[in-house]
Structure 1
Amino acid sequence: MDRTPGDVPVFLAGVTPKKRQTDAEQLIALMSTVTGEAPQLWGTVIGFGQYHYKYKSGREGDAPAAGFSPRKAATTIYLPDGVGPYSSQLQQLGPHTTGVGCVYIKDLQTIDLGLLEAIITESYRAMTSGTNALRARDGAPRG
């Protein structure tokens, strides 16, 4: 994944519905605090920091270490180390659905933002601690 030129506020101005813009502004503040990084566009993902990955297949590259995308149906929060390590925390988060490495939230006001911040913080630390060799689907609960 590559960073793309573009201004985050200009990107946000085109996001619909308005609820996604409001939630995105709140997530930008949260992720900026957690990561100490400024938001940057990676396509339609608003990313913070970056990590390098290198898989056994030889494929390698860089991706945001924390990020989200304000999509029309729901805000997608990316957990590059997978949702598995956070399964017990996610049970207490509030209304959401998950994919392999994504948490989909329709309304930030209905979830525990402190818990979301803790999940993002842990994921960011995991992703910035060195080169990552696991795909999100390979993530497992941490013991």
Structure 2
Amino acid sequence: MAEKLLDLTPYPAVLAFVDGISPVARQDEAKQLVAMFARASGQAPHMYGSAIIGFGTYHYRYDSGREGEAPRVAFSPRKAKLVLYLHLERTGADQLLAKLGKHSTGKGCLYINKLSDIDLAVLEDIVALSFQTMAQAYPM
């Protein structure tokens, strides 16, 4: 059964970015991720910079005084890999990550070669957990 995709028409910047992704297979994966992140977060997609699609925002402030706005969860469909920004160090998602499939992690990032390498239901659970964790740490 095909996954219902989010209509991006109300989000012209996101639509333009996704429509410009190549190859088409990566574009299709980006559309799947937009729909998944919207479901998992309950938030609309927005562009952060030129290549990151984010959902929800939070205000951060470092001890140095530097502060700004960042997405609560986000992803970027890079050529080599899909990069998901999920604050994994805060979530305790180790058991879910063990069930995810082929992936790698970095500080706050989850790297996936292609969506067919992973369990999409597990990924959606990880995205939802990350969003909930950030909502608790930084209330809306």
Task: Note whether the superposition's TM-score is higher than 0.5.
Answer: yes
Q: Which has the higher helix share?
A: 2
| Aligned residues of 2:91 and 2:130 also touching (Cα < 8 A) | no
Correspondence for 1:22:
28
Q: Which has the higher contact order (CA 8 A, sep 6+)?
A: 1
Flag structure 1 segments of 5+ consecutive residues without an equivalent: 133-143
For each residue in 1:59-78, what CA deviation from the matched residue of structure 2 results, as whole angstroms up to 9, or x when unmatched? 22110011100000011111
Correspondence for 1:89:
96
Correspondence for 1:80:
87
Moved more, 28-37 or 74-83: 74-83
RMSD over aligned CA atoms reads 2.1
CA separation of 1:83 and 1:99: change in aligned 2, threshold 3 A: farther
Correspondence for 2:46:
40
Correspondence for 1:140:
none
CA separation of 1:22 and 1:83: change in aligned 2, threshold 3 A: farther
Q: Residue type matched to 1:65 in 2?
A: R
Q: How does 1:91-130 map to 2 (within 5 A)?
A: 91-130=98-137
Normalized against structure 2, the TM-score is what?
0.82
Q: CA deviation at 1:131?
A: 3.3
Distance across 2 between alignment mates of 1:82 and 1:15: 29
Q: How many equivalent pairs are there?
A: 128
Could you say what secondary structure the match of 2:59 adopts?
strand
Q: Residue type matched to 1:9 in 2?
A: L
Q: Residue type matched to 1:71 in 2?
A: R
